[in-house]
Protein backbone atom coordinates (compact mmCIF):
# COMPACT_ATOMS: atom_id res chain seq x y z
CA UNK A 1 0.00 0.00 0.00
CA UNK A 2 1.36 3.41 -0.88
CA UNK A 3 1.17 6.61 1.18
CA UNK A 4 -2.23 7.47 -0.29
CA UNK A 5 -3.71 4.16 0.87
CA UNK A 6 -3.79 2.49 -2.56
CA UNK A 7 -3.04 -1.21 -2.80
CA UNK A 8 -0.07 -2.01 -5.06
CA UNK A 9 -0.24 -2.97 -8.71
CA UNK A 10 -0.14 -6.48 -10.14
CA UNK A 11 3.38 -5.67 -11.35
CA UNK A 12 4.44 -4.92 -7.77
CA UNK A 13 2.76 -8.14 -6.58
CA UNK A 14 4.63 -10.15 -9.25
CA UNK A 15 7.92 -8.55 -8.18
CA UNK A 16 7.28 -9.53 -4.54
CA UNK A 17 6.49 -13.10 -5.57
CA UNK A 18 9.47 -13.41 -7.92
CA UNK A 19 11.80 -12.07 -5.23
CA UNK A 20 10.64 -14.77 -2.80
CA UNK A 21 11.00 -17.43 -5.50
CA UNK A 22 14.53 -16.22 -6.25
CA UNK A 23 15.77 -16.06 -2.66
CA UNK A 24 14.26 -19.40 -1.63
CA UNK A 25 15.54 -20.97 -4.85
CA UNK A 26 19.04 -19.68 -4.06
CA UNK A 27 18.73 -21.17 -0.56
CA UNK A 28 17.86 -24.56 -2.09
CA UNK A 29 20.77 -24.24 -4.53
CA UNK A 30 23.15 -23.39 -1.70
CA UNK A 31 21.60 -25.98 0.66
CA UNK A 32 21.22 -23.13 3.14
CA UNK A 33 18.32 -23.61 5.54
CA UNK A 34 19.29 -20.45 7.47
CA UNK A 35 18.73 -18.41 4.29
CA UNK A 36 15.49 -20.29 3.53
CA UNK A 37 13.64 -20.13 6.85
CA UNK A 38 13.17 -16.36 7.29
CA UNK A 39 10.93 -16.25 4.20
CA UNK A 40 8.18 -18.45 5.66
CA UNK A 41 5.31 -17.82 8.03
CA UNK A 42 5.25 -20.43 10.77
CA UNK A 43 2.81 -21.97 11.33
CA UNK A 44 2.02 -22.46 7.66
CA UNK A 45 0.98 -25.17 5.22
CA UNK A 46 1.98 -26.92 2.03
CA UNK A 47 -0.48 -28.73 -0.23
CA UNK A 48 -0.06 -31.04 -3.19
CA UNK A 49 -2.15 -33.71 -4.89
CA UNK A 50 -0.51 -36.04 -2.37
CA UNK A 51 -1.92 -34.32 0.68
CA UNK A 52 -1.37 -31.55 3.17
CA UNK A 53 1.58 -30.78 5.40
CA UNK A 54 1.17 -28.44 8.34
CA UNK A 55 4.37 -26.65 9.25
CA UNK A 56 3.86 -26.06 12.95
CA UNK A 57 7.27 -24.65 13.86
CA UNK A 58 10.81 -24.09 12.62
CA UNK A 59 11.71 -27.75 13.26
CA UNK A 60 8.89 -28.79 10.88
CA UNK A 61 10.12 -26.25 8.33
CA UNK A 62 13.63 -27.71 8.61
CA UNK A 63 12.20 -31.20 8.07
CA UNK A 64 10.40 -29.97 4.94
CA UNK A 65 13.59 -28.36 3.61
CA UNK A 66 15.54 -31.58 4.27
CA UNK A 67 12.91 -33.76 2.55
CA UNK A 68 12.82 -31.54 -0.53
CA UNK A 69 16.64 -31.42 -0.70
CA UNK A 70 16.76 -35.24 -0.53
CA UNK A 71 14.22 -35.40 -3.37
CA UNK A 72 16.30 -32.99 -5.47
CA UNK A 73 19.38 -35.14 -4.84
CA UNK A 74 17.43 -38.29 -5.78
CA UNK A 75 16.32 -36.93 -9.16
CA UNK A 76 19.67 -35.31 -10.03
CA UNK A 77 18.40 -31.73 -10.04
CA UNK A 78 21.00 -29.18 -11.16
CA UNK A 79 18.74 -26.13 -11.36
CA UNK A 80 15.32 -25.05 -10.23
CA UNK A 81 13.66 -22.53 -12.54
CA UNK A 82 10.62 -20.81 -11.06
CA UNK A 83 8.82 -17.92 -12.71
CA UNK A 84 5.89 -15.94 -11.36
CA UNK A 85 3.21 -15.86 -14.03
CA UNK A 86 0.50 -13.93 -12.16
CA UNK A 87 0.08 -12.15 -8.84
CA UNK A 88 -2.29 -9.69 -7.29
CA UNK A 89 -2.85 -7.96 -4.00
CA UNK A 90 -5.64 -9.33 -1.83
CA UNK A 91 -5.54 -6.47 0.65
CA UNK A 92 -2.62 -4.30 1.71
CA UNK A 93 -0.68 -7.14 3.36
CA UNK A 94 -1.59 -10.17 1.24
CA UNK A 95 -0.59 -11.27 -2.26
CA UNK A 96 -1.97 -14.25 -4.16
CA UNK A 97 0.58 -15.53 -6.67
CA UNK A 98 0.99 -18.30 -9.21
CA UNK A 99 4.31 -19.55 -10.54
CA UNK A 100 5.56 -22.33 -12.79
CA UNK A 101 8.38 -24.64 -11.70
CA UNK A 102 10.80 -26.36 -14.05
CA UNK A 103 13.20 -28.87 -12.52
CA UNK A 104 16.30 -29.29 -14.65
CA UNK A 105 19.31 -31.52 -15.01
CA UNK A 106 21.60 -29.50 -17.22
CA UNK A 107 19.41 -28.42 -20.13
CA UNK A 108 16.97 -31.34 -19.76
CA UNK A 109 13.64 -31.20 -17.97
CA UNK A 110 13.39 -33.81 -15.23
CA UNK A 111 9.59 -33.71 -15.23
CA UNK A 112 6.79 -31.71 -16.76
CA UNK A 113 6.66 -28.09 -15.57
CA UNK A 114 3.95 -27.59 -12.98
CA UNK A 115 2.09 -24.62 -11.52
CA UNK A 116 1.93 -23.60 -7.90
CA UNK A 117 -0.12 -21.09 -5.97
CA UNK A 118 1.19 -19.21 -2.95
CA UNK A 119 -0.34 -16.90 -0.43
CA UNK A 120 2.15 -14.26 0.64
CA UNK A 121 1.76 -12.10 3.73
CA UNK A 122 3.50 -8.95 4.86
CA UNK A 123 4.35 -9.24 8.54
CA UNK A 124 6.21 -6.46 10.31
CA UNK A 125 7.17 -5.00 6.93
CA UNK A 126 8.53 -8.27 5.44
CA UNK A 127 6.90 -10.35 2.73
CA UNK A 128 6.79 -14.05 3.58
CA UNK A 129 5.26 -17.26 2.21
CA UNK A 130 2.27 -18.34 4.31
CA UNK A 131 0.84 -21.17 2.22
CA UNK A 132 1.78 -23.04 -0.96
CA UNK A 133 -0.14 -25.40 -3.22
CA UNK A 134 1.74 -27.47 -5.81
CA UNK A 135 -0.13 -28.96 -8.77
CA UNK A 136 2.21 -31.85 -9.47
CA UNK A 137 1.47 -35.49 -10.11
CA UNK A 138 5.07 -36.46 -9.31
CA UNK A 139 4.42 -38.82 -6.41
CA UNK A 140 7.99 -38.52 -5.09
CA UNK A 141 7.76 -34.73 -4.89
CA UNK A 142 4.29 -34.88 -3.34
CA UNK A 143 5.66 -37.28 -0.73
CA UNK A 144 8.60 -34.96 0.03
CA UNK A 145 6.27 -31.97 0.32
CA UNK A 146 3.64 -33.57 2.52
CA UNK A 147 5.30 -36.26 4.62
CA UNK A 148 6.30 -35.23 8.11
CA UNK A 149 9.02 -36.89 10.17
CA UNK A 150 6.36 -38.25 12.55
CA UNK A 151 4.93 -40.33 9.69
CA UNK A 152 8.19 -42.18 9.05
CA UNK A 153 8.25 -45.81 10.11
CA UNK A 154 10.77 -46.89 12.74
CA UNK A 155 13.69 -48.90 11.40
pLDDT at residue 153 is higher than 50: no
What average pLDDT does range 80-108 have in this prediction?
A: 96
Closest to 74 in 3D by CA, of 20, 155, 139: 139
pLDDT at residue 5 is higher than 60: no
- Please give the Cα distance from 113 to 67 (Å, whole number): 20
pLDDT in tens, 14-49: 999 999 999 999 999 999 999 999 999 999 999 888
pLDDT tier, 6 (very low <50, low <70, confident <90, very high otherwise): low
Across all residues in the chain, what is the average pLDDT? 88
Distant-in-sequence, close-in-space partners of 152: CB < 8 Å, separation ≥ 6: none
Predicted model pTM: 0.87
22 or 135, greater pLDDT: 22
pLDDT in tens, 99-132: 999 999 999 999 889 999 999 999 999 999 999 9
- Please give the Cα distance from 108 to 94 (Å, whole number): 35
Number of Cβ within 10 Å of residue 128's Cβ equals 16
pLDDT at residue 58 is higher than 80: yes
3-state SS, residue 138: coil
Q: What residues pair up with 95 in beta bridges, in sequence order? A: 89, 120
pLDDT at residue 148 is higher than 90: no
Distant-in-sequence, close-in-space partners of 119: CB < 8 Å, separation ≥ 6: 94, 95, 96, 97, 129, 130, 131, 132
Amino acid sequence: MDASGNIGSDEEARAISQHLLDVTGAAYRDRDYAAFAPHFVVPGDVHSFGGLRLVKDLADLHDLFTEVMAYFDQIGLTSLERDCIAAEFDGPDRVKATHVTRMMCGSSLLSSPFPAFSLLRRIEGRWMIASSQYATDDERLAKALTRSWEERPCR
